[in-house]
A and B are shown apart, each in its own frame.
Chain A
């Protein structure tokens, strides 16, 4: 069965600093990988996704992620964090089943931005 690990429960960065959120996955085949962001009281918004091809994926809000097969990782990065980026970030691995796309989520990383 697939699994996702987000080793950092909480991260605090200063506004304007760079950010990297870690995600490791376990899956026997080539995974479909996603990063979602959740602001307080809101649902999940898709930041970016990886299916195949270029291992560096660009997303919304200036985020990018790099798929590294050798490390089973899909880390999320942003060169300069804004205060509005404070939220919870979820990494997920998806597999296609007989019905729909089954997502397995990590436990999330809570990002705090210091002004």
Chain B
């Protein structure tokens, strides 16, 4: 595997379910990100992890719970979601401190549908 991978690629869940999204980066980076991409809206940054510590939480509802067990893996735990949470969830990674404008590399995303 190369780059940033995400599983599953598609997920359908009911509002009472609990599920998790997984992201893995194979680039040796030390920062990871979760974004939400909804139709007609700019990408929304949800969470940022740097050196496995959460450094940013952009007012995301508590029904989304991130976890970063090591620098290569990032999870997004989902519970009691709402239909408006249906979106494409993108994971990205970068090498913090690599220089100005650390470039973020994105995974293919998980298409989430909440029924």
Give residues in A with beta carbon < 8 Å to B: 4, 32, 34, 36, 41-46, 49-52, 90, 94, 96-108
Contact = CB atoms under 8 A, between A and B. Distances in A.
Interface of B: 4, 6, 31, 33, 40-43, 45, 48-51, 53, 55-56, 90, 92, 94, 96, 99-109, 111
Contacts, number: 82
A91 to B, nearest CB: 10
Nearest to B44: A105
Nearest to A32: B101
The 8 closest A-B pairs by CB, nearest first: A99-B55, A32-B101, A99-B50, A43-B106, A101-B102, A100-B31, A44-B106, A43-B108
Nearest to A101: B102
A108 B42 CA distance: 7
Contacts of A103: 43, 45, 104
B42 A107 contact: yes
Contacts of B104: 46, 94, 101, 103
B94 A100 contact: yes
A90 B100 CA distance: 20
Q: Which of A99, A100, A106 has the most CB of B within 10 A?
A: A100
B106 A99 contact: no
